[in-house]
Chain A
């Protein structure tokens, strides 16, 4: 193993634990605590990817969330994770990652030809090129562009990892554990507030990890450790590392993604891979820090060019040198700190400072260390293709317009510092309009919109002393508002090196005769020339420039690119940056796994599953289940080799000939109680309800206010002021909301209460000519004769010691009863019915047989009451009262609803009596008519009639009443079928309804 760029005894990685991992198939070693980036740099690897558009070589630019280049694809436990930032992903034993955006390999990438064709890839290339002909879009352009786009491939396999959601409430959420986050968390926690402190990195401390400062006589790292230890010991504080608060939503709801197992070889038992926290915070302190700004010069995207703060962090945290001949290019004092760190580690850097004569403590220290410094100097262009080999540097005139003495010097990395950009993303997402701070050439949050404050360098405060003081104050103030306590902790003394003003210079002019690409947006390959072109072509609004050039898009979200882009647009437009404004920052701040967003609601868990009390009986008896809303219902009970068709035919036939039993627990049931219940039902249903006697049921239809049928079902008067309403399985929840709406808002004067009792009752429908005989055996003491319990009658009785309710209602069209018992007795009831029914050839039937029976009878269900039909269409107009008013009545007068050629329910039989008609088929007069063939209507439901042993369908067709007897065609282009049919009455079986009354 050779980690040629690893320093001895420097950094925070665990040298005791060596870890091997694979990058593009090759094995490397690092230490526990390394990221992929630090481990690769330690091994001297800088080429990790290819750029988006030109496929130029890509290395590392940053050290954390700001990384625009090093986006890799990770394989872990046979799972694929795209869009992984090498600067964030920690290594673990067996980790395998590979480069994206290159083929066949990162070293030899065919797409790199784009780099030589770059004059053909200007801004807006896709818009300009893939315009004509329009027909090419779908088949040629789009697949091609899609193939070229994106960072990595998502897996098409089911993600077996577990993700969780957590809802949390707190007084104060602090987003970042740098000096301001730690100080404010400490002050607020000590004052009794419930605090959540979130840190995106594995290590707490933010800039304190790398800065040479002293707080309360301790180093930054020592102070961090002390504060974190104390916070962790407090019961009112939650401290989380590897946790990124990525979105700020309405009413102080923030979302945080916690990476629990991503840094481990395998997800631990009982732990999820990631956890998404929905945090409702009373107050938020945004301490997300700042990101170093790049400087713009020729080929500034060459691997080896990186942020100076990143170079410093690689040394101090990971003990890794990013180069051995570093060139520091800076317009402020931050670059000096990096240079001093190099020098301390035995490496001689050269500093190029754009300023002519700055002086400060830090500069003095660099001079004392004999570091070579050149003032008024700039990097003109980086040289080298896959790694920086040298740089053209030059002296720059005082007006920063002219370059002199261009020379080439050898170097293996260029560390740039163009000053600092506060990370205002979260503040901006909260609705805070930012303001431009001239002193730091950057936007900072303005007036709070929600309950948020921004502290530390995220608010443009760049000295530690001020940051710490301000953060202690804010932490106290915010907690004081909430807890009303006054426990103030004293602010520690801070020792730091003083720095001087930065230079506003940010972009090196091109030398005469050179056309180097100078990049602004490293992730999306947007160069100075692209922005210039966009403006020449007339794009003015920064939002338009962004979309035309892709500046600041994708995962970068303007982290490193934003301000330089704005600066350029302002320069060209002769404006100042605040006039140009900035583009909108949108959540998420960093990419979030889709799995984390979905959480546990995957597959079967995406909605609850409801089962009837008889479910286990159905399972034991070979039921094949079907989803009915959230319920699982038996579709058919399989016997031997039967399929759906044979089984449902057998079951339906048995109902017509003997007796069948069906689990109807899933039907919606609503108790309607109160002295005004009858009046209420009279307003809800289209038919009359005032005279329904106790002990009787009635079928009712309810409408929406627009006249469309909402639902149907029977309602039974249990006692004077108590009604038992049933709804369809699918509409149960909507009907309850509908009733509550009218009772609470429209007619509050009605003394009525409604409550769902769906789950309180288990229901079994007994249907068939033998059903009365069965009932006599089930209830030997009850008079169940046609006189004793007539059609639409209701009785309460005792079922072998269990109280039961018997409704004589029928969906199948046969003599039928529905028995309800309390849910806990459902299984008992079912077993008794099966046991006693044996001698009457009872068989259970599922939803498929149930459909067959109702279709044959012409009873409407969900496929006819599809949100488009009025009572007339479904042949329910007989139930519409002319005398009284009800919900939706006024709409039935609409001319479209009274027109005589409305579509109406009919029956359809194929002429050959053998070909089944696909549901959804169109009914047409002439199957050969020119398309679009004028349709008369559609087939809503189909079955195999067990009564007549031929196919039968229901259809809703124009002028249906007058079409009966006509010979037409059912066409299904989907199934490629044209079937000659005859239109018949929808009441195919027992049109007089004798059986139900027998």
Chain B
């Protein structure tokens, strides 16, 4: 079970969190004309990298904040965690 450092609450067990997928995906702006391909990429396409990956976790049984977690998908090592809108190094 992962041990995730919530930037708001500190180290908490994985069972307080819900996984939220790829954190590098950016939603297209509202009212902006975009191609089908761009929209398709946003809605459906996700990379599944082996190694370092920035992902979203939701601290649902804690502070209810969405956070970003930089995690190695093969070793589960967590390098850093960020608040929802913190600049990513």
Contacts and interface: CB of A to CB of B under 8 A. Distances in A.
Binding partners A and B: yes
B42 to A, nearest CB: 7
Contacts of B85: 744-745, 748
A249 B78 CA distance: 14
Contacts of B56: 745
Given A250-B76, A745-B56, 4 more contacts: A251-B2, A251-B78, A740-B58, A744-B65
Contacts of A746: 27
Interface in A720-765: 737, 740-741, 744-746, 748
Contacts of B78: 251
Nearest to A886: B30
Contact of B3 (A252, A706, A737): A252
Contacts of B84: 744-745, 748
A741 B25 CA distance: 13
Nearest to B76: A250
Contacts of A249: 1
Contacts of A741: 20, 58, 66
Given A705-B43, A885-B31, A253 B75 contact: no
B46 interface: no
A745 B60 CA distance: 15
A625 interface: no
Contact of A745 (B42, B66, B75): B66
A253 B43 contact: no
Nearest to B20: A741
Contact of A891 (B2, B43, B64): B43
A253 B13 CA distance: 10
B66 A891 contact: no
B45 interface: no
Instruction: Name the residue in A280, A705, A745 with the highest tally of chain B Cβ atoms < 10 Å from its Cβ.
Output: A745
A699 interface: no
B79 interface: no
A537 to B, nearest CB: 33
A251 B1 contact: yes
A631 interface: no
A890 interface: yes
B43 A737 contact: no
Interface of A: 167, 249-253, 278, 280, 431, 683, 705-706, 737, 740-741, 744-746, 748, 884-885, 890-891, 893
B34 interface: yes
A-B pairs with lowest CB-CB distance, top 3: A251-B3, A885-B30, A744-B84
Interface of B: 1-3, 13, 18, 20, 27-28, 30-31, 34, 36, 39, 42-44, 56, 58, 60, 64-66, 75-76, 78, 84-85
A530 to B, nearest CB: 34
B30 A278 contact: no
A607 to B, nearest CB: 14
B32 to A, nearest CB: 8
Contact of A740 (B13, B31, B66): B66
Nearest to A888: B43
Contacts of B27: 705, 746
12 contacts: A250-B2, A250-B3, A250-B76, A251-B3, A251-B78, A253-B3, A278-B1, A705-B42, A706-B43, A706-B44, A737-B18, A741-B58
B58 A737 contact: yes
Contacts of B43: 705-706, 891
Contacts of A740: 58, 64-66
A744 B1 contact: no
Given A683-B30, A744-B66, A891-B43, A251 B58 contact: no
A420 B77 CA distance: 34
A890 B3 CA distance: 38
B9 to A, nearest CB: 15
Contacts of A893: 36
A69 B19 CA distance: 43
Nearest to B64: A740
Contacts of B58: 737, 740-741
Instruction: Name the residue in A249, A683, A737, A744 with the highest tally of chain B Cβ atoms < 10 Å from its Cβ.
Output: A744
Contacts of A748: 84-85
A731 to B, nearest CB: 15
A250 B4 CA distance: 11
A741 B36 CA distance: 24
A510 to B, nearest CB: 46
B24 to A, nearest CB: 12
A250 B3 CA distance: 8
A746 B23 CA distance: 11
Contacts of B20: 741
Contacts of B36: 893
A902 to B, nearest CB: 19
A253 B20 CA distance: 23
Contacts of A253: 1, 3, 13
A249 B75 CA distance: 11
A891 B39 contact: yes
Nearest to B34: A890
Contacts of B34: 890
A941 B27 CA distance: 36
Nearest to B30: A885
A741 B1 CA distance: 24
Nearest to A756: B64
B29 to A, nearest CB: 9
A893 B43 CA distance: 13
A891 B31 CA distance: 13
A706 to B, nearest CB: 5
A253 B76 CA distance: 13
Contacts of A280: 3, 13
B3 A431 contact: no
A706 B40 CA distance: 9
Nearest to B58: A737
A884 B78 CA distance: 41
